[in-house]
Amino acid sequence: MTGTGQLMSPSEHKIWRQFIENRCGIDFGETRLQYLCRRLSERMRALNITGFHRYYTYLNFNAEKEQEWPKLLELLVVGETSFFRHEGSFLALRNLVIPGLIARKQQTGSQGLTMWSAGCSTGQEAYSMTMTALDLIDPQKIQVETLGTDINTTVLEKARTGKYSPLAIRSLPAAYRKKYLTELRQDRETIYQVNQSVRDGVQFGHHNLKTIEHNLVPGQDVIFCQNALIYFTAEFRPVVVQALCQCLNPGGFLFLAPGEIVGFKLPGIQSVKAEDSLVFQRL
């Protein structure tokens, strides 16, 4: 097969599927075969390579292989994201989770609220979490610290700038837009940048959820991991979720996308009743 609008053979698919899963943990099974072929073909055209097997050889043995892999990875994990992407989760965060955490921290004298956006892409989720918290918290009493991580270093660079197009902020409520964004002119175009007061509370870094069992990010009060588990096999998803639960502080909350995992049970972890959301709490 040439790889130009065609599907790869079963043997090629097996090789590519194992190669990518070994490199980053992402699973491209039968249901995602066409997507995989399109992404591989895009890089093959850029390199003027014909044949999936030839591109596989290039990625494994060419002198430029380490420069090529990040370019392919960026295509494989490109994900649509937006501010306040899943409304149900952010309503639960605002109305249920953060008020409870504030009350608990005031009782214990704790002065920090820690949150993690795992699989943050270009940063909108991490900033949305921070905006939600800042709307409810007195920064003089409780400091908000949010971590955004992703396997894709290119999207992390964009996330750090906090700059977005008018299209990218379309889902941001007007009140948040007015309070937390600044309109700028760049290259004769209008863009919006997240205000420094929000960016100061958000850090971005590289993290691969495939290795989370050995690279825990402990001490979190809130974790959002939404639309990231779909990249892993059904067998590995509970492993990731269990490790994420280990990263929670006692009383902390884990948000997943509804439908990402079914029937998950773990000692010391309870499901939280919240409309149109999938939330777990560490007891």
pLDDT band at 171 (very low <50, low <70, confident <90, very high): confident
pTM: 0.85
Which residue, 187, 17, 152, 174, is CA-closest to 81? 152
Spatial separation of the C-alpha atoms in residues 197 and 213, rounded to whole Å: 33
Look up residue 59 and give its DSSP letter.
H
Of the given ranges (51-65, 71-85, 167-181, 233-247), which has the lowest mean pLDDT?
A: 71-85
Rg over alpha carbons for the chain, rounded to the nearest Å, is: 20
Between the two ends of the chain, the Cα-to-Cα distance in Å is: 53
* Structure tokens belonging to residue 106: 């005031």
User: Between β-strands 278-282 and 143-150, what pairing exists: parallel, antiparallel or unpaired?
Assistant: unpaired
Question: Which of the listed ranges 232-236, 248-252, 265-269 does the model predict with the highest average pLDDT?
Answer: 248-252
pLDDT, tens digit, for every residue of 186-219?
A: 888 999 999 999 999 999 999 999 999 999 999 9
CA dihedral defined by 259, 243, 144, 201, rounded to 10 degrees? Answer: -90
For range 220-245, the mean pLDDT: 92
List Cβ neighbours of 140 (8 Å cut-off, separation of 6 or more). Answer: none
> Which tokens in the block code for residue 130?
């921070």
Spatial separation of the C-alpha atoms in residues 256 and 93, rounded to whole Å: 12
CB 228 within 8 Å of CB 255: no
Cβ(120)–Cβ(148) below 8 Å: yes
Question: CA-CA distances (angstroms) from residue 74 to 30, 40, 78, 216, 239?
Answer: 21, 11, 6, 24, 24
